[in-house]
Amino acid sequence: MITFFLVGLTVHVVFFLSIFDIYFTSPLVHGMTPQATSLAPPASRLVLVVADGLRADSLFTLLPNGSSRAPYLRSVLEEKGTWGVSHTRVPTESRPGHVALIAGFYEDVSAVAKGWKENPVEFDSVFNESRHTWSWGSPDILPMFAKGASGDHVYTYTYPAQEEDFASTDASRLDSWVFSQVKSFFQLAKSNSSLRASLLEDKNVFFLHLLGIDTNGHAHRPMSQEYLDNIGLVDTGVAELVSIVEDFFDYDGRTAYVFTSDHGMTNWGSHGAGHPSETLTPLIVWGAGVHNAQRVTEPQPYNDGYLQDWNLEHLRRVDVGQADIAPLMASLIGVPIPVNSVGVLPLPYLNNTDLFKAENMYTNAIQVLEQFKVGQHASLLLLTCILLTESKQAEFIHKARILIQLEKYEDAISLCQSLISYSLEGLVYYHTYDRFFLGCSVVLGFVGWTSYVVLVILKTHASLNRHPSLLKQVRDPSHTLAKLCMCVTVVITVFLLIQRSPVTYYIYCLLPVPIWYSLLVGFFMSCNVHLADHKLFTVCRVYHVQCEVSLLWMSVYLCCPQVVSFFHRAMLTVGLAILSIWPFMSGLFGKAKFRSLSWFLGCLFLALFPLMPVVGREPNIHLVTCAGLLTLFTSVCYLWSSRQRTPLHLSDRQQFVTQMFHVAVCAYVPSLTHSSLQQKQGLPLLNQIISWITLGSSMLVPLLSSTRIFHRLLSIFLSLTATYLLLSTGSEALFPPVLSWLMFVWINIEQEAMLAQGVSGRQEVEPLCICLNIAASLSLINFQVFFIITAFFGTGNIASINSFDPASVYCFLTVFNPFIMGGLMMWKVIIPFIIVMCTFETIQVTGCELQTIINFNSISHSSPQHFFFLVQDYGSWLDIGTSISHYVIVMSMTIFLMLLSVVTHILTSQRLILWRRPKYLLI
């Protein structure tokens, strides 16, 4: 069994890692030659201002009195600049947004596995191509562009990371610091001759990263006065900045300005997903080489209604993709477009000759085509992209060059845009060329492993024995299968060698071979089985048949909501509604009315949570306090109802009193913390200490509790709920108490079913027929799978993790730290999982239905096979067309559940003591 567990864990880890090799490989290629235009640029320097977290509507929408909260920027777009909306892509985070703005490509998906490192992949940027770049702002953004640049011409000035505090009295001081530093910098340059000489050179960039708006949005929401006032502060700072820069360069008219944002923000203060409030950011460009504001009378090609809402329908609007800003900035100051850029130069922003526009568009096309060429040669694949063969590439380039020489600039620009489009399609083609093949290999391996696990469990635990007389008549198929598998292995290896594939490709493609070999050999050897004892049919009683058939049908009804819930969370409500009538269908209601009614109400209460919104909820700390009181009430009820069967010893009583007092404290800490933050007094140190101690002790305190299963389970529930309360901001805090209530009722109902069959403790009984054995095991495991899915989707899913409310972690920390914050949120998601897993373990230990119907002793917690069988349910609906995000969820859950089995075993340990005290097994 240890070997089986290790092999299974290895197989699932390989399948999980394959996701990153198939879907999260870097699209970047290297070795391209930088492309530049020989014509003189209109600007000698560029000032880039990025207001982090600024929504387009927050900047452009007028106040009720008709004025603007950003009067200077409003005057710029109405008089001397060109404006539009910059459309960002998911993930709408700070790093991807700045990479798109400055490097011209959308975040390398392979960086997902590398986190917030300064430069997880090598890439070119406008800063790298510039002569000098001076930047001021956040320590999270600036260093990654400085360390990624060649040479030492990118200079950064950052404030300490501790200043990024969501509990700050006024986060706008971060922006004030930037403007103050820039002002001091230019004052210093007036007296520093070497610095002044560098500033007077061409191809220079000044970058201001303003984080105050984003921080205020997280802390106070985008509709708050703090957020809106910060926009006014930035507007005033930009006006002063322009005055300082123009004064220093004697108003030479050679400075271009770009004002934009990396991403927006939702109404509830988060970003990361694809809501329009997150993907629509403002873009205002003015200065040297940029068109002045152009008034229009005809309708513009935008039907989103924003022009009317912002009272800007009379001014030309030019929307761009966020990556298009990089080639625009490069063209304005005459530096090569970043070699990794996939942006298309937005010509309507340029105020220059048609020749300049055509030449820069031609340069843009050659730069993108260079990426296609390098990617084509690096792939060494057997097929070629029919859109851009080498002859077609030469034809495009030659024709574009001729059109420019003939001064047919519009035709040349149109041709170059087509070349860019084909090149980008070709890049996608080569990047995803082997995705289908690898996907088929992984799915084939996963299906094979699923089938093999089912076969092993049925052979080992379903009373299936090979017939000796029939085995003599059957030829051993292993030799034939071995030869076939060797041939398949050779063919796959040769194919991968021809393509010079990475080593990991061999693992993904060859792993299914031994899996299917083992499956087929086991299947053929098991074809000749018979029932060990035909008298088994005679021991089936009417009650057993009724209960098992109802369970089987219940499992069938639950399968549909399980699958659909991955796409539509509300389907869990349907499943819980079906599950609520289980006691009535199985006949348990007549034997345990109170517990059946508790089950019915528990399912209905739990069914409300999937109907609640995942994100966008306003914090309601009063519900957290109510959840704490509910936890205390249910705990007291549990202890009171079980006082006769499992009396508390003095040490147990002291621990439970301590834990319940701890829960009461943790229910009050969020209210005290948020009250302090609202008064802008910061995070109280005592609250922070209590929170971290609670988190650290949540897995240790239950180990000090009684070895009685009921007491151990209640201790786990209290300890984990205390941590969950500290990570909650509203109605989700009620989820663990309601879930735990239902789990305790489930344990009692299973025991009632066992007692109703005339079985007590762990007494052995005669097994039912094989078909009912399988039905019972599938039914109970389906119940567990359904509750595990409910634990994950009950209060949130990947969307809520991606767009979580930072207020959830304010009891632990308020200074921005994505690793710690993300870890806390993941632990919050794990807590309901552990509750369900411990419940299922309790059902097994107490000798409930599955172990009394089937001789399931060997599939206890010391044997992980039932976990393998459990997680295969997630893979049954997988196919090639399944979306990446759901595939990631499935594979993550698979490994996650197996690791949780270890945690569950630790929490419910000391089994030997339990076996010696069978009177404590029943709750």
What digits encode the pLDDT tens for the residues 606-653?
999 888 876 656 778 999 999 999 999 888 887 887 766 667 777 788
DSSP per residue over 894-911, as a string?
Answer: HHHHHHHHHHHHHHT--H
Question: What is residue 448's predicted lDDT score, i.e. its pLDDT?
Answer: 87
DSSP per residue over 781-833, as a string?
Answer: HHHHHHHHHHHHHSS--HHHHHT--GGGGTTT--B--HHHHHHHHHHHHHHHH
Could you tell me whether strands 280-287 and 132-137 are parallel, antiparallel, or unpaired per DSSP bridges?
A: unpaired
Q: Is 150 exposed, middle or buried (0-12, 13-18, 19+ CB in 10 A)?
A: exposed
For residues 561 and 574, is the Cβ–Cβ distance under 8 A? Answer: yes
State the Cα–Cα distance between residues 404 and 411, nearest whole angstrom: 8
List, in order, residues 6 or more apart from 608 with CB less than 8 Å away: 573
Q: 709 — phi, psi (to 5°)? A: -55, -45
DSSP secondary-structure letter at 165? B
Question: What is residue 755's predicted lDDT score, i.e. its pLDDT?
Answer: 60
**Higher-confidence residue: 772 or 447?**
447
State the Cα–Cα distance between residues 818 and 923, nearest whole angstrom: 43
For residues 772 and 852, is the Cβ–Cβ distance under 8 A? Answer: no
Q: Among 349, 341, 346, which Cα is nearest to 369's? A: 341
With residue 466 as reference, give the H or E element that holds it. Answer: strand 464-466
* Angle of helix 512-526 versus helix 435-461 axis, rounded to 10: 30
Domain boundaries, the chain: 48-344, 353-532, 539-758+773-909
Tokens 């008219």 -> residue: 253
- Cα angle for residues 129, 237, 98 (degrees, 5° grid): 35
State the Cα–Cα distance between residues 825 and 805, nearest whole angstrom: 10
The tally of CA atoms less than 13 A away on the side-chain side of residue 569 is 19
pTM (predicted TM-score): 0.79
- The pLDDT of 13-28, averaged and rounded, is 79
- The pLDDT of 712-738, averaged and rounded, is 91
For residues 559 and 782, is the Cβ–Cβ distance under 8 A? Answer: yes
Chain segment 144-192, per-residue pLDDT in tens: 888 767 778 999 999 998 888 877 778 899 999 999 999 999 999 999 9
Q: 574 — phi, psi (to 5°)? A: -65, -45
Q: Tokens in use for 300? A: 């513009």
Q: Tokens in use for 865? A: 């096979």
**Higher-confidence residue: 571 or 378?**
571
For residues 45 and 204, is the Cβ–Cβ distance under 8 A? Answer: yes
CA distances from 801 to 3, 313, 498, 828 (A): 35, 38, 42, 10
**Higher-confidence residue: 771 or 671?**
671
Partners of residue 625 on adjacent β-strands = none
Query: pLDDT band at residue 901, thresholds of 50, 70 and 90?
Result: low
Q: 566 — phi, psi (to 5°)? A: -65, -25
Per DSSP, the three-state class of 525 is helix
**Higher-confidence residue: 267 or 871?**
267
Per DSSP, the three-state class of 51 is strand
For residues 136 and 208, is the Cβ–Cβ distance under 8 A? Answer: yes
State the Cα–Cα distance between residues 52 and 37, nearest whole angstrom: 31
Query: pLDDT band at residue 679, thresholds of 50, 70 and 90?
Result: confident
- The pLDDT of 732-748, averaged and rounded, is 89
- The pLDDT of 566-588, averaged and rounded, is 81
For residues 804 and 617, is the Cβ–Cβ distance under 8 A? Answer: no
CA-based radius of gyration for the chain: 33
pLDDT greater than 50 at residue 861: no
Partners of residue 85 on adjacent β-strands = 282
Chain segment 192-248, per-residue pLDDT in tens: 999 999 999 999 999 999 999 999 998 888 999 999 999 999 999 999 999 999 999
754: number of Cβ within 10 Å? 25
Q: Is 6 exposed, middle or buried (0-12, 13-18, 19+ CB in 10 A)?
A: exposed
Sign of CA dihedral 739, 741, 744, 750: negative
488: number of Cβ within 10 Å? 16
Question: What is residue 450's predicted lDDT score, i.e. its pLDDT?
Answer: 81
State the Cα–Cα distance between residues 459 and 457, nearest whole angstrom: 5
Q: 205 — phi, psi (to 5°)? A: -130, 135
Question: What is residue 84's predicted lDDT score, i.e. its pLDDT?
Answer: 97
48-344 under CATH 3.40.190.10, yes or no: no
pLDDT greater than 50 at residue 853: no
Q: 340 — phi, psi (to 5°)? A: -95, 5
670: number of Cβ within 10 Å? 27
Dmax (CA) of the chain: 103
Question: What is residue 888's predicted lDDT score, i.e. its pLDDT?
Answer: 44
Q: Tokens in use for 586? A: 């199985």
State the Cα–Cα distance between residues 392 and 47, nearest whole angstrom: 39
State the Cα–Cα distance between residues 628 and 917, nearest whole angstrom: 33
CA distances from 895 to 826, 844, 866, 872 (A): 15, 22, 14, 11
- Cα angle for residues 741, 746, 751 (degrees, 5° grid): 130
- To the nearest whole number, what is the mean pLDDT of the chain? 80
Partners of residue 464 on adjacent β-strands = 531
Question: What is residue 796's predicted lDDT score, i.e. its pLDDT?
Answer: 64
- Cα angle for residues 792, 794, 795 (degrees, 5° grid): 95
Question: What is residue 910's predicted lDDT score, i.e. its pLDDT?
Answer: 43
State the Cα–Cα distance between residues 805 and 269, nearest whole angstrom: 7
CA distances from 141 to 203, 215, 643 (A): 22, 14, 59
Question: What is residue 913's predicted lDDT score, i.e. its pLDDT?
Answer: 32
**Higher-confidence residue: 537 or 571?**
571
Question: What is residue 518's predicted lDDT score, i.e. its pLDDT?
Answer: 87
State the Cα–Cα distance between residues 385 and 402, nearest whole angstrom: 25
List, in order, residues 6 or more apart from 915 with CB less than 8 Å away: none
